[in-house]
Amino acid sequence: MTYPPSILQGLSLSLIALFGLSPLHSSGQDKGVTKKMRYLEVPPRSLTVYYPDNWSTTDRRPALVIFRCNIPAQREYFRKLGMVVIKPQTAPVNSGQLPGMSLEEIAASPKPRDQVADTKSAIRFIRNNATTLGIDPEKIVATGTSGGGDLALQSHLNRSFTHKQDDLAVSCSPDILVLYCPAFDGIDLWFVKTEDFLNATRASSPAFIPYLDRFIANTGDSYARPIDHRKTLIELADTIGIQNNISKAEIESFQNTLELFNERDWQLLHPAEDALEMSATRILTKSSRLPPTQILIGDRDHLAKAQQAFLEHARNQGQAFDLKVYKGGGHSFMTQPAFESTSTEDVHSFLKQHKILPVDP
């Protein structure tokens, strides 16, 4: 869109160039206005701001920061209650295309650790620009679904991954956490323990033991690191088996063991050493006190085992949190009609209890 020249617009464009901020109204009120602004220059990351009705630049509204998910009903519900809703963009981790990428392309692509660093940068930017955003810097709520819920938690817990240009004097910890069906401890969900891999090989295909360095990088590590894509490794097993007169049955058994590496070859994109430093159960200690935190899970979630392990660990560390369990709820239960209203009301009550919400319907 081409704007007519004016001093005001020239000033606005200068602000964008200098600070990465989209031009905001300096006075007056907005109704349902949506804005975009840059929160990180390198790598470039933006965020979208959904303002509540009758918002003004002089306001100090609570902020709801949503990571990596889109729950329009909840977003609109809390926007109408007067919250400024913010959706930051995070690193485009493209695990779905891994099988078609070369190892060089995977090495150069964004990693989950970049998403964690982005999450912390976004919270710092939002807090540091509270006046521009018309929010209260002490009323920042971070939320997300599944991996987004874990990212919200990482913004408070993680101390390993930070963008070098971040102002560390500004806190990256949200004031409140609301975690929907969080995907805690992905390393225990998606990674193959070396011991399990070795035991399976010894039991069903011992002829491949001398060739394991062609398939995994270091048998001394806790988690097996595949050297190439699972599909490529399965083809390699066939080649090595034929060259070394290994029986067809044993080749097939080893290929079945290689199936332990999930079909997206997640370990290639997400190194185990990174995953360990992002494992909520491992990095949550007594000293890393949680802010007021609400955790919402369904009792039929396929991630229930990891969720329960985190909850037990958190209790053992003396951490307090509000837990809501929805009977019959699976993963992403809050998007389903049977749970949408109830879960939203539960979050409303929690935010009201902690004096976050400015409006009570």
Asked if 248 and 294 sit in the same domain, the reply is no
Which residues, listed in sequence order, are joined to residue 135 by a DSSP beta bridge? 61
**Domain match, 245 and 331 both:** no
pLDDT band for position 33 (50/70/90)? confident
Q: What φ, ψ does residue 311 adopt, rounded to 5°?
A: -60, -45
The number of distinct structural domains making up the chain is 2
Q: Does residue 26 surpass a pLDDT of 50? A: no
Going by their DSSP bridges, the two strands 34-40 and 45-50 should be labelled as antiparallel
- Same-domain status, 303 and 202: no
pLDDT confidence of residue 277: 95
Asked if the structure places residue 142 within a domain, the reply is yes
**Residue closest to 178 by CA, chosen among 141, 215, 228, 213:** 141
Residue 29 is assigned to a structural domain of this protein:
yes
Same domain? 18 vs 152: yes
- Read off the pLDDT band of 358 (50, 70, 90): low
CATH of the domain at 296: 3.40.50.1820
From residue 289, alpha-carbon distances to 139, 244, 314, 317, 353 in Å are 17, 56, 10, 9, 19
Same domain, residue pair 37 and 172? yes
- 72 and 18 assigned to the same domain: yes
Contact 59, 51 (CB under 8 A): no
Confidence of residue 57 (pLDDT cuts 50, 70, 90): confident
> What's the token pair of residue 315?
């209790």
* Residues 31 and 114 reside in one and the same domain: yes
Q: Does residue 26 sit in the same domain as residue 102?
A: yes
DSSP readout, 85-99? Answer: EEEE------GGGGG
Instruction: Read off the pLDDT of residues 120-133 as tens digits, 9 standing for 90 and up.
Output: 999 999 999 999 99
pLDDT at position 306: 92
Count Cβ atoms below 10 Å from residue 138 Cβ, excluding itself: 11
Phi, psi of 21 (to 5 degrees): -100, 135
68/213: higher pLDDT: 213
Nearest Cα to 119, choosing from 85, 148, 139, 96? Answer: 148
pLDDT for res 1: 36
Residue type, 312: E
Out of 148-157, 166-175, 179-188, least confident range: 179-188
Q: Is position 238 within any domain?
A: yes
Q: What is the CA radius of gyration of the chain?
A: 24
Q: How far apart are CA 52 and CA 49, in angstroms?
A: 10
**What does the block give as tokens for 139?**
């009323």
190: number of Cβ within 10 Å: 19
Are 96 and 197 in a shared domain? no
Tell me the pTM: 0.86
Residue 333 DSSP code:
G
Predicted local distance difference test score (pLDDT) of residue 266: 86
Encoded amino acid at 193, one letter = K
Average pLDDT in the chain: 89
State how beta strands 84-88 and 45-50 pair: antiparallel
CA distance 334 to 349: 16
* Phi, psi angle pair for 46, to nearest 5°: -125, 170
166 lies in the same domain as 48:
yes
Q: Among 203, 228, 260, identify where a domain stops.
A: 260
Rounded to an integer, what distance in angstroms lies between the CA atom of residue 326 and that of residue 299? Answer: 6
Q: pLDDT tens digit string along 316-330?
A: 999 999 999 999 999
Domain span holding position 254: 193-260
Q: 34-40 and 61-67: which strand pairing? A: unpaired
pLDDT exceeds cutoff 70 at 4: no
Same domain for 30 and 144, yes or no, is yes
pLDDT at site 18: 30
Nearest to 151 by CA among 179, 132, 109: 179
